[in-house]
Amino acid sequence: MKIGIIGLGLIGGSLGLDLTARGYEVVGVSRQQETCDRALAKGIATITGQDLRLLDKTDLIFVCTPIGAIVRAIESIVPYLPPETIITDVGSVKGAIVAPATKLWSNFVGSHPMAGTAHQGVEAAEYNLFENAPCVITPIAETSPEAIAKISQIWEALGCKLYHTSPEKHDCAVAWISHLPVMISANLIHSCSEIKSTEVKQLAQALASSGFKDTSRVGGGNPELGLMMAQYNRQELLNSLLEYRQNLDLLIDNIEKENWDFLEQFLSDTQDLRANFLH
Amino acid sequence: MKIGIIGLGLIGGSLGLDLTARGYEVVGVSRQQETCDRALAKGIATITGQDLRLLDKTDLIFVCTPIGAIVRAIESIVPYLPPETIITDVGSVKGAIVAPATKLWSNFVGSHPMAGTAHQGVEAAEYNLFENAPCVITPIAETSPEAIAKISQIWEALGCKLYHTSPEKHDCAVAWISHLPVMISANLIHSCSEIKSTEVKQLAQALASSGFKDTSRVGGGNPELGLMMAQYNRQELLNSLLEYRQNLDLLIDNIEKENWDFLEQFLSDTQDLRANFLH
C-alpha cells in the first residue's frame, strides 16, 4: 500500500515515521523544500517533494496541514487521484471540514487523533506518538463504509483507541475538554500579566511555580492552532465559554457571600469529577 | 540548635528530613500518634510526640499545620517557651497570620516556602523539597530583625531563593499565581462535568488528554487547602477573580464578534507573557 501525507509537521511527520517503520511506501508532501529534505533524512517518508502530483498513485492520503488549509489541500489534489484513493485528515475540528471535503471527494472520512507534544514542526516528529491515543472517526451519512473501515484499521494499527461519532458531537466534546482549556488558560496568563502594582507583579512572576505553570501551559501554546479552534469551532467554543462564565459567576458570588459550605463541596467534588476524565 | 516542627505533613515532614540530615536536633509534634511514629521511623525528627511541652527548649519552631490552625497552635505553645525562641510558619496566606501571631509572640516572623508535590501527609515528605524553591519572608513593623535574619538563614541553607515583602503584597501576589489558578481550574472541572448530552459527556471524558489534565490539575487538588485560600485571602482572591472575569468577558465578546485580529494578538502575546512567570 502506498500512503501519502500532506503536511510534515508534528502529526504528519510522526505518522510518516510509524508508517515507514511498518513497511509502507510513504510519499511526503510539504510546501517547504527544507521540510521535505528533513523528512527524508529522518525516515518520515520514502519519497518527498513539493509537487502534489507525487500523490497520484497513492491508496490512502492523510491531510495533516493546519485546519484552515485542509479543504483547500483536498481541492488541489483530487484532480490527480484515482477514484478509489481514500482521503482522511487529522484536524481538531470536524464540522467545518467533513461536509465540504466529502463533497469534493466521496472517499473522504474525517479523523482526529488526540495526540501531541509541546513541540511543533518536522523536527518534533516522533515514533509511537499515537500509541494509546484516542482517535475519533467522524463519518456522515454520505461517507463510504469501506473508507471508514480502512481508516479505522490503520489508526488501530498505529495503536489508537478508536471512537466513532458525528462531526457535530466531536466538535462539541473537544470544545469542552480541549478548546475551552486553551482559552481559560490564555486568559489566566493575560490576567496575571496585568497586575497593577509593578512590585506585586514582579513578586508574582518570581513566585509562580508548578501550579501556575500547569494551568497556563495550553494557553501559552501554538497561537495559530488556538485561533483556528475558535474560527472553525466558534459556536461550540462560545457555548462552553458561556457556561464556564456562568459557573464562575456562581463561584465568585459564593466566595463574596462567604458561603464556605458551597466552596467546600465545590472543591471536594472536583477530585472525583476530574477522575472521570483521566485514563 | 534544637528545632521544633508542629504538623508533620508534606511540608513539616520534608523540613524535618532536611534539618535532621544537617545534624540539627529536631522535635516533631503531631496530633496523631501514628504520624509521630511514622515521622520517627522515616528520620523526620529525633524526638516526636503529641505533647506540646516537648517543644519547651527549642531555639526555633516551624508551625506547619493547615492555615486555619496556625494561630491557635502558636497560642498553645507560647506558655512553654523561653522568650528567645523564634517561631515561624509556612502558611500560604500571611495577612491573616502575621499580625495576630506577632501579638502572641514578639519573636514571630512569617514564611511561605513555595514548594509542594501532588501528595499530602507524612508519607509524602521528601528530601530537598525546598531546593531552588522561592520562599517569602513577610516581616511587619514589629518583627524582630534577629528573627528575620535567623529564619532567612535557615531557609537559605535548605536551598530556598528568598524574597522579603509585606504580608499584604505576598497575599496579593499569591492570589494571582496560586489561588486564582485553583479556582479557574476547579471551575473547568465542574463545567465539563455538566455537559448536558450524556453521549457528548462520555466522549469528552474519553478524549480528554494532557491539555485537560494539566489545566485541571490544581483544581482537583486538596480541597481543604483551596477552601482556606479563599477564607483567609478572600479579598485578594475576589479581586483577581473579578479581573479574570472581566478579561474573560472581553475574550468572549471578541469571539462572538469574530474579531480574529484581537484573538490572534491575544494568543500570540501569551507565549511571551507566560515566559515572564517561568524560571
DSSP B29: E
Q: Do A245 and B243 touch (CB under 8 A)?
A: no
Interface with chain A: mutation pick from B131, B184, B267, highest number of A CBs within 10 Å: B267
Burial profile A6-27: b = 16 or more Cβ within 10 angstroms, e = fewer = bbbbbbbbbbbbbbbeeebbbb
Closest CA to B39 of B58, B26, B57: B26
Q: What residues contact residue A85 under an 8 Å CB cut-off, 6+ apart?
A: A58, A59, A60, A61, A107
* pLDDT, position B276: 97
Q: Do B169 and A219 touch (CB under 8 A)?
A: no
Phi-psi region of A258 (alpha: psi -120 to 50; beta: other; left: phi over 0): left
Give the DSSP H or E segment for B135: strand B134-138
Pick from A174, A220, A242: CB nearest B207: A174
Interface with chain A: mutation pick from B168, B171, B187, B268, highest number of A CBs within 10 Å: B187
Q: What residues contact residue A258 under an 8 Å CB cut-off, 6+ apart?
A: B231, B234
**How does pLDDT run across B33-52, given as a tens digit for each residue?**
999 999 999 999 999 999 99
Chain A contact set for B181 (CB, 8 A):
188, 211-212, 215-216
**How does pLDDT run across B110-151, given as a tens digit for each residue?**
999 998 877 889 999 999 999 999 999 999 999 999 999 999
Average pLDDT over residues B167-177: 98
**How does pLDDT run across B53-62, given as a tens digit for each residue?**
999 999 999 9
Q: What residues contact residue A260 under an 8 Å CB cut-off, 6+ apart?
A: B227, B230, B231
For residues B229 and B232, what is the distance between their CA atoms, to the nearest angstrom?
Answer: 5
Residue with cell 487547602: B225
* pLDDT, position B119: 82
Calculate what percentage of chain B has a pLDDT beyond 90. Answer: 96
Closest CA to B207 of A178, A60, A184, A156: A178
Q: Is the minimum CB–CB distance between A164 and chain B shorter than 8 Å?
A: no
pTM exceeds 0.90? yes
A31 and A89 in contact (C-beta within 8 Å)?
Answer: no
The dihedral sign for the CA sequence B221, B227, B229, B234:
positive
pLDDT digit string (tens) for chain A, length 279 residues: 999 999 999 999 999 999 999 999 999 999 999 999 999 999 999 999 999 999 999 999 999 999 999 999 999 999 999 999 999 999 999 999 999 999 999 999 999 999 887 788 999 999 999 999 999 999 999 999 999 999 999 999 999 999 999 999 999 999 999 999 999 999 999 999 999 999 999 999 999 988 999 999 999 998 999 999 999 999 999 999 999 999 999 999 999 999 999 999 999 999 999 999 997
Q: What is the mean pLDDT of chain B?
A: 96
Which residues in chain B (190-229) have CB-CB distances under 8 A to chain A? 190-195, 197, 199-200, 203-221, 223, 226-227
Q: Do A276 and B205 touch (CB under 8 A)?
A: yes
DSSP A145-179: HHHHHHHHHHHHHTTPEEEE--HHHHHHHHIIIII
Chain B contact set for A255 (CB, 8 A):
230, 234, 237-238, 241
For residues A174 and A181, what is the distance between their CA atoms, to the nearest angstrom?
Answer: 10
Question: Closest-CA residue in chain A for B218?
Answer: A211
Q: A196 vs chain B: nearest CA distance in angstroms?
A: 11
Chain A contact set for B239 (CB, 8 A):
none
Average pLDDT over residues B215-231: 94
Q: What share of chain B is helix, strand, coil (3-state, %, to 5)?
A: 60, 15, 30
Does B209 score more than 90 pLDDT? no
Torsions phi, psi for B48 (to 5 deg):
-135, 160
Q: Is B273 helix (H, G, I), strand (E, B) or coil?
A: helix
Does B191 score more than 80 pLDDT? yes
Report the relative pairing of strands A108-113 and A134-138 from DSSP bridges: antiparallel
Q: Is B46 helix (H, G, I), strand (E, B) or coil?
A: coil
* pLDDT, position B193: 98
Chain B contact set for A209 (CB, 8 A):
114-116, 133-134, 177-178
Directed axis angle between helix A180-193 and helix A234-256, to 10°? Answer: 50
Closest CA to B174 of A145, B41, B122, B166: B166
- The grid coordinates listed for A74 are 483536498
**pLDDT band for position B210 (cuts 50, 70, 90):** confident
User: Side chain identity at A34, as an amino acid letter?
Assistant: E
Q: What residues contact residue A262 under an 8 Å CB cut-off, 6+ apart?
A: A254
Q: What share of chain A is helix, strand, coil (3-state, %, to 5)?
A: 60, 15, 30
